[in-house]
């Protein structure tokens, strides 16, 4: 018998954007969409194209993408009360997004109908049925989000079921039951989802949970256990208030613990990397103890636990960390994560053995840098540069002899201006250049590249595609910062990192690495050199 597949819908771009502290640019949204497509999440829900201009631009750009595995879903409400659906601009705007699927949310809790949107119970049912039928007739796959379904069911089960019936008659493929306020217990979810599944054996029943009681993941799992086959959440669990069901955790639980496939074969190993990438894009710190993908998730600190894991990992690990692309760490041991590190080193330098002096030296250096605040997730090129340096396979292309940045606001109410001056030395030839920029870091970047381009014309091909700053501690303006830079030469992309108490110095470290990576790449491809 083939295992039953669960359809996942990620709402990071819609419900996730409701989280405090989260603001996505259009560029962020595109990156998230592509990462979820790459992982194989079948449905990705975004907002309403007309709710603001950024969403409109997002849908326009998304239409031009060649998504491989993901179907984009626009999200909007039923038509307004007392109007014809064909004439409702909310609904027609929603169709403008041009997505193959559309989520329509409607009210299932009688109290919300009468007290919040203030219409009659009959009109609300008509709003649901009309809207879904109309959107379906436009050739879209329709998901009905039954808002507050569980609160509604507990208050008036008959009416909550009637709202589903309206959606079903209208032609919705999925009836998604939402625990909008997040207050429902797992045993209630189980009973109510079970009752719905019994009533609609032909429909796909969905579940959408919030984490206000800390049980959104478990509630999603219990719903599947009761017959749901479509699960909504946000990849890192963020969303309004306490957030949504963490889809990354749900996915791993379903696929590993319940053997119900959610993403394509072989993709589960990309889970950790995807979660960390999304956290970077959203500019939030991934919780260290995040199930499956966190940094502490497979960390062992207690002596007895470390001893047990050394005897047999299953003694204190419910799964092997490699299955989700994570890795084990021993916190008290000298050999912390050693074998993993060696594995990683060997990817760049296959000649290195586990016990060689070079390996030990590199490991020491890595530890030092991590202690200083470096982090090489998402900065593989800086990691590679360190290996080169420690292996003696590095000779600098250039040296920065001197630099100065100046920022000023020359007169009262005047414009702010920033300049940088850089003096470089290339094999004894010295050149000094100055540039003006948008702020001191930009000025420094320009000056450095202008001066180097004279010696290395290939530098003209590269430009930075991303620049991120993370403040590492809370000593206010004297905090350490980590700067992450992403560079492209049009063919490849690479990322580098710098850490300092000074944002300009941190940026310069990452900039220099990014330029040297380009120069090394070119030399290697010209003379057919392999990696270090």
Binding to a copy of itself in span 70-99, by CB under 8 A:
none
Neighbours of 232 (CB within 10 A): 31
> Of 93, 317, 489, 522, which one interacts with a copy of itself (CB under 8 A)?
317
Token pair in block for residue 111: 């109290």
How far apart, in whole angstroms, are the C-alpha atoms of residue 17 and residue 451? 42
Looking from the CA of 250 toward its CB, the CA atoms found within 13 Å total 36
**Which residues inside 272-301 make contact with a copy of itself, applying CB under 8 A?**
283, 287-292, 294-301
Which H or E run includes 527?
A: helix 503-527
| Part in contact with a copy of itself (CB under 8 A); list of ranges 136-144, 159-167, 192-200, 216-224 | 216-224
Does residue 305 bind a copy of itself (CB under 8 A)? yes
Looking from the CA of 327 toward its CB, the CA atoms found within 13 Å total 14
> Of 40, 76, 152, 182, which one interacts with a copy of itself (CB under 8 A)?
182
> Of 21, 201, 490, 528, which one interacts with a copy of itself (CB under 8 A)?
21
Does residue 267 bind a copy of itself (CB under 8 A)? no
| Part in contact with a copy of itself (CB under 8 A); list of ranges 4-12, 129-137, 332-340, 490-498 | 332-340
> Of 74, 262, 385, 503, which one interacts with a copy of itself (CB under 8 A)?
503
How far apart, in whole angstroms, are the C-alpha atoms of residue 136 and residue 153? 26
Burial of 145 (0-12, 13-18, 19+ CB in 10 A): buried
Buried-state track 15-31, b at ≥16 Cβ within 10 A, e below 16 = bbbbbeebebebebbbb
* Nearest distance in Å: CB 70, a copy of itself: 22
DSSP letter, residue 24: -
Considering the complex, state which of residue 153 and residue 292 has its C-beta at the smaller distance from a copy of itself. 292
- Of 383, 395, 411, 391, the closest CA to residue 494 belongs to 383
Binding mask 433-472 for a copy of itself (x = CB under 8 A): ----xxxxxx-xx-----------------xxxxxxxxxx
With CB under 8 A, what is the number of residues at the site for a copy of itself? 127
Considering the complex, state which of residue 361 and residue 463 has its C-beta at the smaller distance from a copy of itself. 463
* Nearest distance in Å: CB 17, a copy of itself: 7
- Of 217, 158, 166, the closest CA to residue 189 belongs to 217
How far apart, in whole angstroms, are the C-alpha atoms of residue 3 and residue 14? 30
Considering the complex, state which of residue 175 and residue 217 has its C-beta at the smaller distance from a copy of itself. 217
Does residue 513 bind a copy of itself (CB under 8 A)? no
Considering the complex, state which of residue 18 and residue 69 has its C-beta at the smaller distance from a copy of itself. 18
Considering the complex, state which of residue 20 and residue 202 has its C-beta at the smaller distance from a copy of itself. 20
Does residue 114 bind a copy of itself (CB under 8 A)? no
> Of 2, 158, 259, 334, which one interacts with a copy of itself (CB under 8 A)?
334
> Of 96, 121, 185, 458, which one interacts with a copy of itself (CB under 8 A)?
185
Does residue 311 bind a copy of itself (CB under 8 A)? yes
DSSP 68-101: SS-EEEEEEEPPPTTS-GGG-HHHHHHHHT--SE
Binding mask 394-433 for a copy of itself (x = CB under 8 A): -----xxxxxxxxxxxxxx---x-x---------------
Q: Which residues pair with 9 in a beta bridge?
A: 43, 232
How far apart, in whole angstroms, are the C-alpha atoms of residue 132 and residue 497? 49
> Of 171, 194, 227, 308, which one interacts with a copy of itself (CB under 8 A)?
308
Does residue 479 bind a copy of itself (CB under 8 A)? yes
Considering the complex, state which of residue 112 and residue 208 has its C-beta at the smaller distance from a copy of itself. 112
Considering the complex, state which of residue 130 and residue 240 has its C-beta at the smaller distance from a copy of itself. 240
* Residue 47 backbone phi and psi in degrees, to 5: -80, -155
Burial of 115 (0-12, 13-18, 19+ CB in 10 A): exposed
Does residue 142 bind a copy of itself (CB under 8 A)? no
CA-derived radius of gyration, the chain: 27
């Amino acid at each position: 018998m083939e295992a039953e597949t669960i359809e996942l819908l990620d709402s990071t771009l819609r419900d996730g954007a409701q989280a405090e502290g989260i603001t996505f640019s259009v560029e962020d949204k595109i990156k998230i969409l592509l990462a979820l497509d790459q992982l194989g999440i079948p449905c990705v829900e975004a907002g309403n194209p007309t709710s603001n201009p950024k969403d409109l631009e997002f849908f326009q750009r998304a239409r031009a993408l060649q998504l491989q595995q993901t179907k984009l879903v626009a999200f909007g409400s039923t038509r307004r009360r007392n109007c014809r659906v064909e004439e409702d601009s909310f609904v027609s705007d929603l169709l403008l997004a041009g997505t193959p699927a559309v989520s329509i949310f409607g009210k299932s809790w009688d109290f919300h109908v009468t007290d919040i949107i203030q219409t009659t119970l009959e009109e609300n049912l008509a709003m649901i049925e009309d809207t879904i039928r109309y959107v379906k007739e436009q050739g879209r796959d329709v998901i009905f989000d039954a808002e507050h379904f569980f609160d509604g069911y507990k208050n008036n089960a008959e009416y909550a079921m009637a709202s589903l019936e309206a959606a079903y008659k209208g032609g919705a493929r999925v009836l998604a039951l939402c625990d909008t306020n997040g207050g429902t217990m797992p045993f209630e979810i189980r009973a109510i989802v079970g009752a719905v599944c019994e009533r609609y054996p032909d429909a796909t029943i969905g579940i959408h949970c919030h984490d206000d009681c800390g049980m959104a993941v478990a509630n999603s799992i219990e719903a599947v256990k009761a017959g749901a086959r479509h699960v909504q959440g946000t990849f890192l669990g963020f969303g309004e208030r306490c957030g949504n069901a963490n889809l990354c955790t749900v996915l791993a639980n379903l696929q590993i613990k319940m053997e119900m496939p959610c993403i394509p074969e072989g993709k589960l190993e990309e889970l950790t990397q995807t979660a960390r990438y999304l956290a970077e894009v959203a500019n939030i710190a991934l919780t260290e103890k995040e199930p499956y993908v966190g940094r502490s998730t497979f960390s062992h600190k207690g002596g007895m636990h470390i001893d047990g894991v050394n005897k047999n990992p299953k003694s204190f690990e419910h799964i092997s960390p490699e299955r989700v692309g994570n890795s084990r760490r021993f916190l008290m041991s000298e050999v912390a994560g050693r074998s993993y590190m060696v594995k990683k080193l060997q990817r760049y330098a296959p000649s290195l053995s586990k016990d060689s002096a070079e390996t030990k030296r590199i490991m020491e250096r890595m530890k030092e840098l991590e202690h200083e605040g470096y982090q090489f997730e998402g900065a593989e090129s800086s990691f590679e540069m360190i290996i080169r340096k420690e292996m003696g396979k590095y000779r600098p292309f250039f040296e920065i002899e001197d630099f100065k940045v100046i920022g000023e606001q020359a007169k009262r109410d005047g414009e702010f201006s920033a300049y940088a001056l850089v003096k470089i030395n290339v094999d004894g030839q010295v050149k000094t250049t100055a540039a003006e920029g948008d702020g001191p870091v930009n000025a420094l970047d320009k000056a450095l590249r202008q001066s180097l381009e004279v010696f290395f014309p290939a530098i003209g091909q590269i430009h930075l595609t991303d620049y991120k700053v993370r403040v590492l501690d809370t000593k206010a303006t004297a905090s350490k910062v980590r700067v992450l830079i992403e560079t492209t030469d049009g063919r490849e992309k690479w990322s580098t990192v710098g850490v300092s108490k000074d944002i300009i110095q941190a940026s310069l470290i990452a900039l220099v690495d990014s330029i040297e990576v380009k120069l090394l790449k070119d030399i290697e491809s010209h003379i057919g050199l392999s990696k270090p």
